[in-house]
């Protein structure tokens, strides 16, 4: 992704800021400008998600595109946030521990980098809620 394209989404990626439709109450992450339920009568406001959720499904990626190749193998997952919507992210944990239904919480990590010279992209990944026993 180019620098302006990442920058435009940076607050969303750093802080899990999505949207909520005040008309129907539905939460969206990624953010949307139109509520899929209310469409033109939607009342969209930004919403900061709590960062808690559950693994809906996952895979361990062994073969990745260029920017991610050095991070393989990594866990890619679809996470259903407590507020409702689901998103795609990575889960940082022992590969033997990952499972469907695992409770997770958000953490701040590097997503990737363009090259040794290029921009570094940061954003939200997830770690298990239960281990290690840290109080957040």
Partner 1 sequence: MRDVAIIGVGCTEFGELWDKSFRELFVEAGISAIEDAGIQGGKIDALYVGNMSGGRFIEQEHIGSLIADYAGLASLNIPSTRVEAACASGGLALRQGIIAVASGYHDIVIAGGAEKMTDVDAETTTDALAAAADREWEGVMGATFPGLYAMIARLHMHRYGTTSEQLASVAVKNHHNGMMNPKAQFQHEISIEAVLNSVMVADPLHVFDCSPISDGASAVVLAPAEVARKYTDTPVYVKASAQASGTLSLHDRRDITTLDATVVAAKKAYNMANVTPSDIDFAEVHDCFTIAEICAIEDLGFVRKGDGGKASQEGMTAIGGKIPINTSGGLKACGHPVGATGVKQAVEITMQLRGEAGKRQVDGAEIGLTHNVGGSGGTAVIHIFGRER
Partner 2 sequence: MNVGIVSYGAYIPRFRIKIEEISKVWGDNASSIAEGLMVFEKSVPDMDEDTITIAVEAARHAINRAGVNPERIEAIFTGSESHPYAVKPTSTVVAEAIGATPSLTAADFQFACKAGTAAIQACLGMADSGMIDLGMAIGSDVSQGAPGDALEYTAAAGGVAYIIGKDKLVAKIESTYSYTTDTPDFWRREGMPYPEHGGRFTGEPAYFKHVTSAASTLMNKMGTKPSDYNYAIFHQPNGKFPTRVAKMLGFSSEQIKPGLVVPRLGNTYSGSCMMGLAATLDIAKPGDRILMTAFGSGAGSDSFSISVTDRIEEVRNGAPSVEQLLANPIYIDYARYAKHKGKIKL
The alpha-helical segments, DSSP class H, found in the chain are: 3-15
Stretch that binds partner 2, among 20-28, 54-62, 67-75, 78-86 (CB under 8 A): 67-75
62 interface partner picked from partner 1, partner 2, none, CB below 5 to 8 A per type: partner 1
Q: How far apart are CA 87 and CA 53, in angstroms?
A: 10
Stretch that binds partner 2, among 24-32, 56-64, 66-74, 76-84 (CB under 8 A): 66-74
Q: How far apart are CA 117 and CA 48, in angstroms?
A: 32
User: Among residues 29, 51, 18, 15, which one has the least CA distance to residue 127?
Assistant: 51
**Where is 79: in which H helix or E strand?**
strand 74-81
**Where is 48: in which H helix or E strand?**
strand 44-48
Stretch that binds partner 1, among 19-27, 42-50, 54-62, 128-136 (CB under 8 A): 54-62
Binding mask 24-63 for partner 2 (x = CB under 8 A): ------------------------x---------------
Q: Interface with partner 1 by CB under 8 A: which residues?
A: 1, 5-6, 9, 13, 30, 56-66, 68-69, 71, 74, 76-78, 85-90, 100, 111-112, 121, 123
């Amino acid at each position: 992704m180019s620098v302006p394209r990442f920058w435009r989404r940076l607050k969303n990626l750093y802080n899990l800021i999505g949207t909520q439709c005040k008309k129907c109450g539905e939460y969206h992450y990624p953010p949307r400008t139109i509520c899929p339920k209310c469409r033109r009568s939607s009342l969209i406001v930004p919403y900061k998600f709590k960062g808690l959720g559950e693994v809906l499904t996952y895979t361990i990626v062994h073969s990745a595109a260029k920017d991610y190749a050095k991070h393989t193998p990594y866990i890619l997952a679809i996470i259903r946030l407590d507020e409702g919507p689901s998103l795609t992210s990575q889960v940082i944990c022992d590969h033997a521990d990952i499972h469907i239904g695992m409770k997770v919480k958000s953490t701040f990590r590097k997503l990737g980098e363009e090259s040794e010279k290029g921009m570094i992209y940061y954003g939200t990944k997830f770690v298990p809620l239960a281990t290690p026993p840290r109080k957040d």
